[in-house]
Amino acid sequence: MVPRLRRFYVDRIFSKVGESLQLSPRETFHLHRVLRLKAGDRCRIFNREGAGAEALIEQISESRGAALQLQNVFPPPEKNLYLYIKAAQALPQKRKMDTLIDRAEELGVQELVVLETKRSVVRMKGEALERARKRWERIVVEAAKQSGSPVLTKLEGPVSFEKALEEKIAPEDQGFLFHPDPEGMAFSRMIEEIVSHRRPIFLFFGPEGGFTEEELRLAEARGVRKVFLGSSTLRLETAFLGVISAIRFLT
């Protein structure tokens, strides 16, 4: 079996065979020190737009970055080949967001909004928020390198629940909110609607304490429908991963 070429991230647009570019020192460290690749080896690269390429490693400098020459270039995948998933997750406790971001990237979530809701316990600002954002961006890149996902999850927030409803949902989006209310839409029915319409979807996941009645009314007024996941009370990370995995595999 031919070994899979290792993937590395470049923060630039590329399009031509024969084009030269450099990896960042951080990616070069991973290429050279961790994976032991050397000049003359081949690798793959990808960017935020979803384009990919096979590349020849021409030279390695840990201070300037590895010099690559593109051998084959692959355009971004057609958007209509993938169900476009947007998700909004209330910021959880104990760095659980790190894991959720990693899994969201693996599962091909195109956009992930970090929410602040009425019952959110964790609220970030200032230097702590900036450190978290940088860490989350690194997690997205590392997850994409490992999984081979064709998209890099776009991260936004934290933003308020009200702002997410007003500004983040596009007119063509199908909006769904997960809440333990037996009168909500059955999950199987939601899947049927997603398959039938094939429009982008926007999924709302609440905090540990759930959404408030006021938030539910605001969501309903915006056309977002409640979805019932069954009688068991799920941890927020279980609901997030279970729902998105099921949507990916069933649609």
pLDDT of 220-241, one tens digit each? 999 999 999 988 888 899 999 9
Secondary structure, 3-state, the chain: CCCCCCEEECCCCCCCCCCEEECCHHHHHHHHHHCCCCCCCEEEEECCCCCEEEEEEEECCCCCCCEEEEEEEECCCCHHHCCCEEEEEECCCCCHHHHHHHHHHHCCCCEEEEEECCCCCCCCCHHHHHHHHHHHHHHHHHHHHHHCCCCCCEEEEEEEHHHHHHHHCCCCCEEEEECCCCCCEEHHHHHHHHHHHCCCEEEEECCCCCCCHHHHHHHHHCCCEEEECCCCCCCHHHHHHHHHHHHHHHC
More confidently predicted of 198 and 81: 198
pLDDT of residue 32 exceeding 60, the answer is: yes
pLDDT of residue 142 exceeding 80, the answer is: yes
Q: pTM for the whole thing?
A: 0.86
What pLDDT is attached to residue 2? 52
In order of their start, the domains of the chain are 7-74 (2.40.240.20), 80-250 (3.40.1280.10)
What pLDDT is attached to residue 1? 47
Ranges 75-79, 93-97, 118-122, 181-185: which has the least confidence: 75-79
pLDDT of residue 80 exceeding 60, the answer is: no
pLDDT of 111-135, one tens digit each? 999 999 999 888 888 898 999 999 9
pLDDT of 5-24, one tens digit each? 999 999 999 989 999 999 99
pLDDT of residue 79 exceeding 70, the answer is: no
What pLDDT is attached to residue 234? 87
pLDDT of 172-195, one tens digit each? 999 999 999 999 999 999 999 999
- Average pLDDT of the segment spanning 71-96: 85
